[in-house]
Amino acid sequence: MSNTTLDKLAPGNSAVIVSVEAKGPVRRRIAEMGLCPGAQITMVRKAPLNDPLEFLVRGYNISLRNADAATIVVNVKEAKA
């Protein structure tokens, strides 16, 4: 497993959130959406211009801007061959 930020996750890949580096109101908004350490998250798709990004977390889909996704550190699950 390797650590990266959420904005670098490829569509279809899953990861576990390690930490949220955002500060202030952005951090609070991210936490209110259920994006906290230990949560499993899957990249669903990217918009045509790569912003926003769509994710599946805790059974629902959310969209995040690239700038916000870049503040979330995740541990990528390796694909099984």
Residue 1: per-residue pLDDT: 64
Residue 77: per-residue pLDDT: 77
- CATH numeric code, 2-76: 2.30.30.90
Residue 51: per-residue pLDDT: 87
Mean pLDDT for the stretch of residues 17-36:
92
Given a contact cutoff of 8 angstroms between Cβ atoms, the answer to whether 35 and 20 are in contact is yes
Longest CA span, the chain: 41
Residue 79: per-residue pLDDT: 59
Mean pLDDT for the stretch of residues 34-44:
93
Residue 43: per-residue pLDDT: 94
Give the C-alpha separation, 4 to 24, whole Å.
22
Give the C-alpha separation, 60 to 73, whole Å.
20
Q: Where are the domains of the chain?
A: 2-76
Whole-prediction pTM: 0.86
Alpha-carbon distances of 25 from 14, 15, 32, 42, rounded to whole Å: 26, 24, 10, 24
Mean pLDDT for the stretch of residues 66-74:
94
